[in-house]
Amino acid sequence: MVETKAVPASAIARKLEERVEMLLQQTGRKPGKKELKELKEEIRLSMLPYAIPKLATCWVWLAPQAGYLYIDASTQSRVDDLVSLLVELVPGLSVAQLATNLAPAAAMSSWLSTQEPPSSFTVDRECELKTPDDSKSAVRYARHALDIAEIQGHIQAGKVPTRLAITWDDRVSFVLTDKLQLRKVDYLDTVFDGRDSDRGVFDSDFAIATGEIERLVPDLVQALGGELASASR
């Protein structure tokens, strides 16, 4: 959990305008760029103690037997910050991003082109395709059948899948990205039928959810050609 404080830029701008007007009345001159920058920082620091703190929570799951570290974060910068903190706190810890022999984008292209995903996986009704050049033109499908000639045409024209909705073993749905990230993870209703009523809700749900992920990830890595031998953890 990280606590941050930020002063709204509009509030700083109002205070800065007041200070500039006061300085103009007192001295008859306007502050220069350097002085304006210093005044702005001074105002920000003076208002910071009164700013309402914001809490950001990031869930982390350590699976040492499998050699994986799972981070529930929406941005790469948050992942990088958390990994840096863990490496600093745990002597000898070495972490590397998971890499597979088959790039996710190449695998998703094949699955969309052939409509034959690997065993245990099914293609759902959401995807995004982009051109790899600087134009970054993109097309997105949501709640739409993906076994259509239009998508085949986009792939043949050079667009690459960057996101694809998939379901694993009729138990867990998620969106796979070209960065090998799992987004919008959703457990189907039957997954929690075996919930242990004697345990706390969080403990029980966490045990079930992580148990599913522990089975899903190896299947996904295998579907992507296996883990790169050089990817040490």
Going 140 to 146 to 147 to 148, the CA torsion angle's sign is negative
- For tokens 């667009």, what's the residue? 159
Do 177 and 130 meet the contact criterion of CB atoms below 8 Å apart? Answer: no
Do 95 and 87 meet the contact criterion of CB atoms below 8 Å apart? Answer: yes
pTM: 0.76
Do 99 and 222 meet the contact criterion of CB atoms below 8 Å apart? Answer: no
Residue 59 β-bridge partners? 72
Residues 6+ apart with CB under 8 A from 79: 71, 73
Question: Which strand (E) or helix (H) includes residue 125?
Answer: strand 121-130
Q: What order do you get walking across the sheet with 172-177 strand by strand?
A: 138-142, 121-130, 160-168, 172-177, 182-187
Do 84 and 76 meet the contact criterion of CB atoms below 8 Å apart? Answer: no
- Taking the CB of residue 95, how many other CB atoms lie within 10 A of it? 14
Q: Kindly tell me the burial class for residue 37, based on how many C-beta atoms sit within 10 Å of its own C-beta (0-12, 13-18, 19 or more).
A: exposed
Closest by CA to 213, choosing from 178, 172, 183, is: 172
Per-residue pLDDT of the chain (233 residues; tens, 9 = 90+): 888 888 899 999 999 999 999 988 888 888 888 999 999 999 999 999 988 888 888 889 988 888 899 999 888 888 998 999 888 988 888 888 899 999 999 999 999 999 899 989 999 999 999 998 888 889 999 999 999 999 999 999 999 999 999 999 999 999 999 999 999 999 998 888 767 666 667 888 888 899 999 999 999 999 999 998 765 44
Do 104 and 118 meet the contact criterion of CB atoms below 8 Å apart? Answer: no
